[in-house]
Amino acid sequence: MEAEKTISIEDGKKIAYRVVGVGSKPIIVFLSGSVFNYKQFDPVFLQEIKKLLPDYSFLFYNYIGIGNSSPLAGDFDFIKIAKQHIALLDALGIESAHHFGYSKGAVIGLLAAVFGPKRIKSLATYGTPNLAEGNNEITKSQYSKRIQHLRSITGIWEKQVDDNTYKLLYDTFYVPVIFNQDVNHLSFKNKIKSRNIRKALKPMLMGTLIHNIVKLFEYYQREITEEEKQNYMEKMKQIDLPVLLMHGVLDSLIPLDTAKALGKMIQNSKFIEFEELGHTSPLLDGGEGKKIMQNYAKFIHEL
């Protein structure tokens, strides 16, 4: 696997990144979701897209506060992250690129398309939160439960995810989120499944400050004013480039109807829904991730 590098952007922050492939066609930038580092794409998406688009190269990187990038000062600010993304393209000498964003990465891609429209050749997303609908009760309830789990391990909030903290974080937080059960009540079958998921998720979280997970979920749970909603909707209406929104019908975190409402705001956007897919499962399920990448490759070929 290609080595990770770091580069400084205009505000002096350092960003960890990796480029895969030496394709002759424009680069494709992958934007990570949640607090996962760029290795979230390694198990499925990267393997598939290399086969589907062999003439392209792919850029993966960690946002500020994630993995080996500079620490996060203060709270999450998606507008700031989007502007740091444009600064990263500047630092790497990338005039424009295709983009694929997953969950939070989809929001960053959309905002980057607002602030740097000439830098984004096209944008495809999966599991896109609609920040204009941030107060929907389903999403707020899900993040409230997640914060409650994390509050039981406040003693490690100021530590990074590493070999010493990962198992406690996984058992206390990820097991209830994934299985809707306490780790001590898993069936034998789910214990086996959980062990495999724990192994797969570990590389995606290593190096990230655990408190940043809490900060992100608090950001999603905050109250959205009517002015903020209108401002965001206006930003989405400014986007004028090829956009493909993909979403799973079984997504229990980001309701399908909020994603569809977002799609109606964006000019030239297409929307694809997958009957059998959820929010996070495609990252680890080869069959699910392959469907998303196949549709993405088709989108790129048709541009």
Same domain, 106 and 20: yes
Position 170 scores a pLDDT of 97
Same domain flag for 47 and 185? no
Flag whether pLDDT at 171 surpasses 70.
Answer: yes
Overall average pLDDT of the 89-113 stretch: 97
% pLDDT > 70, the chain: 99
Quote the pLDDT of residue 1.
62
Q: For the chain, how big is the Rg over CA atoms in Å?
A: 18
Q: Are residues 17 and 127 in the same domain?
A: yes
pLDDT in tens, 103-135: 999 999 999 999 999 999 999 999 999 998 866
Residues 15 and 67 in one domain: yes
Q: In the 3-class helix/strand/coil scheme, how is the chain assigned residue by residue?
A: CCCCEEEECCCCCEEEEEEECCCCCCCEEEECCCCCCHHHHHHHHHHHHHHHCCCCCEEEECCCCCCCCCCCCCCCCHHHHHHHHHHHHHHHCCCCEEEEEECHHHHHHHHHHHHCHHHEEEEEEECCCCHHHCCCHHHHHHHHHHHHHHHCCHHHCCCECCCCCHHHHHHHHHHHHHHCCCHHHCCHHHHHHHHHHHHHHHHHHCCCEHHHHHHHHHHHHCCCCHHHHHHHHHHHHHCCCCEEEEEECCCCCCCHHHHHHHHHHCCCEEEEEECCCCCCHHHCCHHHHHHHHHHHHHHHHCC
Q: 277-286 in b/e burial notation, b at 16+ Cβ within 10 A? A: bbbbbbbbee
Average pLDDT over residues 25-51: 95
Final residue before a domain boundary, out of 150, 184, 219: 219
Statement: residue 221 has pLDDT above 90: no
At which of 219, 244, 274 does a domain end? 219
Mean pLDDT of the chain: 94
Q: Percentage of residues in the chain with pLDDT exceeding 90?
A: 86
Average pLDDT score over residue span 192-205 = 96
Q: Are residues 52 and 197 in the same domain?
A: no
91 lies in the same domain as 24? yes
At how many degrees (to 10) do helices 210-221 and 137-151 cross? 150
Q: Which of residues 219, 243, 274 is at a domain's end?
A: 219
Number of residues that make up the chain: 303
Cβ neighbours of residue 38 closer than 8 Å, sequence gap 6 or more = 17, 18, 30, 32, 60, 61, 62, 67
Q: Is the pLDDT of residue 283 over 90?
A: yes
Indicate whether 121 and 180 sit together in one domain. no
Mean pLDDT of 252-279: 95
Judge if 123 and 17 occupy the same domain: yes
Number of compact structural domains in the chain: 2
Q: Which of 236, 289, 238 is nearest to 261 (CA)?
A: 236
| 46 in the same domain as 60 | yes
Q: Terminal CA-to-CA distance of the chain, rounded, Å?
A: 29
Which domain CATH number covers 88?
3.40.50.1820
- Range of the structural domain that residue 50 is part of: 5-134+225-301
Residues 43 and 97 occupy one common structural domain: yes
**How far is it, in rounded angstroms, from Cα 269 to Cα 100?**
14
In a shared domain, residues 211 and 64:
no
The residue type at 48:
E
